[in-house]
Structure 1
Amino acid sequence: MTRIDDTFARLRAENRKAFVAYVMSGDPDAETAAQIVRGLPGAGVDIIELGLPFTDPMADGATIQLAGQRALEGGMTLDGTLDIVRQLRAEDDTTPVVMMGYYNPIYSRGVDRFLEQAREAGVDGLIIVDLPPEEDAELCLPAQAAGLNFIRLATPTTDDKRLPKVLQNTSGFVYYVSITGITGAGSASAEAVGPEVARIKRSTDLPVIVGFGIKTPDAAEEIAAVADGCVVGSAIVERIGRGDSVTDVLAYVKSLADGAHRAG
């Protein structure tokens, strides 16, 4: 059982939905990013997604691309990202952290070395968007052997033929991308998402969390009501990018978390 598994077990017992928040490591700077990450649990966040900045973030829209650029220009690295996790773990040993990003920095570090360092820092799971199931031997299977969940994305174009392949080595939860396209594009609709979540749940016992296109507390509630929870990323990162204070960012996150938790 990982922290992710424990969190979903607790939420099920409480009849509550999960709220997941994404922030970019090192944005707008290392110190501020660490303050935000450490404040997320108190703002009602059940699982933290921590972006690993990368120079070629092909799945991300402009908001998260710019956040990654700010982080890289400020000197954020893989080691710096792990250090932010360690800072959280110094005061919170229960809130799961999922590192989300691309394979290149991990490959450059070396998979075995990275997994050892990630576990030591307190990372619980990985979402690596450019490693398809056909490449599970690269990182997915070693990660799970090391005790980290490997979370896969399913999308509106993941048909019934492809879905079993996506699910076969997934653990922790399934991340359903509610819209076709990059992060920050469009708005999620419960009417469209609900049947897709139900279709996925017919093929897995894992929780299904919905992300992309959620920007308001009402939208968080609406989407969480038809899934096991929701993810908000670009809308939070946008506020960080425009210079909102840590207090204001966390207040916004709390409003979203409250919305998602109303759906329970």
Structure 2
Amino acid sequence: MARYETMFTQLDAKNEGAFVPFVMLGDPDKATSLQIIQTLIDNGADALELGFPYSDPIADGPTIQAASIRALGNGNTPSECLDIIADIRRDNPDIPIGLLLYSNLVLARGIDTFYAQAKASGVDSILIADVPLREAKRFIDVASSNEIDQILIAPPNATEETLQAIGQLSSGYTYLLGRAGVTGAETAAETPASELIEKLAKHKVAPPLLGFGISTPEQVAHAIHSGAAGAISGSATVNIIAKHLDNTPAMLSELGEFVQSMKAGTSKA
């Protein structure tokens, strides 16, 4: 059984949804990045969404852009990112690990090479932020051949045609956008109505995780009770890292408390 499928099955048995934090690989440096990711796991993260630093992150707001700049400024490369993932996977064999990145980083290595290296490092899924659904097939085909889930995005204004296509092509999970625009904790998620999530279920899409603007346990709980399978929080997590760049113990302590509080919001009871 694939790691996402196992995770969702286990969470359903506990009547819980998933909490998935996002951080940028290599931010602020490789050693600290490893400590950060392990802290997220140790404090209850159900899965991970990890970014590759990139110089032109068009889907990201200022918080995650700054994380990219910090990681790139410390010489972080895609190879370093894959090394970090391999280290995390070695110590955490069961947690689903997803990547969120941009197409140029994949194309620079060649699609086949990148996906093969990602699989070897322990990656379960890849979401490419700037590849629209109509252009996703070549990535989906290579992902499938490497036993990687290609994650697809369901926008809040998705048409029936789009939802049907996602239902046919999605695996792992579906990234459900809480609102339009770029990432950022500053703008609250406009949690989709249950009607939209019901439409997703009708088309049998992979379990939807709500992202963009998720920064509080109350928003996580709202997502779960609206029918989402879980919630993803990126900018709120990265903000904690940025706040404590000069004090790693304080950073890790606050990250741990944050994950525990967000995970507490996933109860379906």
Partner of 1:186: 187
**Counterpart of 2:160 in 1: which secondary structure?**
coil
CA contact (8 A) 1:222 1:263 kept: no
Gaps of 5+ in 1: none
- Compute the displacement of 1:240 (Å): 0.6
Indicate whether 1:233 and 2:239 are aligned: no
CA contact (8 A) 1:141 1:169 kept: no
When structure 1 is superposed on structure 2, of 248-257 and 61-70 the one drifting more is: 248-257
Partner of 2:243: 242
- Describe how 1:68-147 pairs up with structure 2 within 5 A: 68-147=68-147
Deviations 1:218-255 (A, max 9, x none): 22112122211111111011111121521221221221
Partner of 1:6: 6
**Counterpart of 1:245 in 2: which secondary structure?**
helix
Kindly provide the amino acid, as one letter, of the partner of residue 258 in structure 1: A
When structure 1 is superposed on structure 2, of 55-64 and 245-254 the one drifting more is: 245-254
Kindly provide the amino acid, as one letter, of the partner of residue 250 in structure 1: G
CA contact (8 A) 1:36 1:250 kept: no
**Counterpart of 1:6 in 2: which secondary structure?**
helix
State the distance in 2 between where 1:189 and 1:132 align.
22
State the distance in 1 between where 2:243 and 2:195 align.
36
State the distance in 2 between where 1:241 and 1:56 align.
19
CA contact (8 A) 2:21 2:49 kept: yes
CA contact (8 A) 1:2 1:147 kept: no
Change (3 A) 1:263 1:15: closer
**Counterpart of 1:90 in 2: which secondary structure?**
helix
CA contact (8 A) 1:215 1:235 kept: yes
Gaps of 5+ in 2: 245-249
- Compute the displacement of 1:178 (Å): 0.8
CA contact (8 A) 2:85 2:121 kept: yes
Deviations 1:14-69 (A, max 9, x none): 22111111111111111111111122222111110001111111111111111111
**Counterpart of 1:126 in 2: which secondary structure?**
strand
Partner of 1:253: 259
When structure 1 is superposed on structure 2, of 35-44 and 171-180 the one drifting more is: 35-44
Deviations 1:176-234 (A, max 9, x none): 001111111521244x4432222211111521111111111122112122211111111
State the distance in 2 between where 1:162 and 1:21 align.
27
CA contact (8 A) 2:24 2:68 kept: yes
- Compute the displacement of 1:13 (Å): 2.4
CA contact (8 A) 1:2 1:149 kept: no
**Counterpart of 1:180 in 2: which secondary structure?**
coil
Kindly provide the amino acid, as one letter, of the partner of residue 237 in structure 1: V
Give the aligned CA root-mean-square deviation in angstroms: 1.5
CA contact (8 A) 2:177 2:212 kept: yes
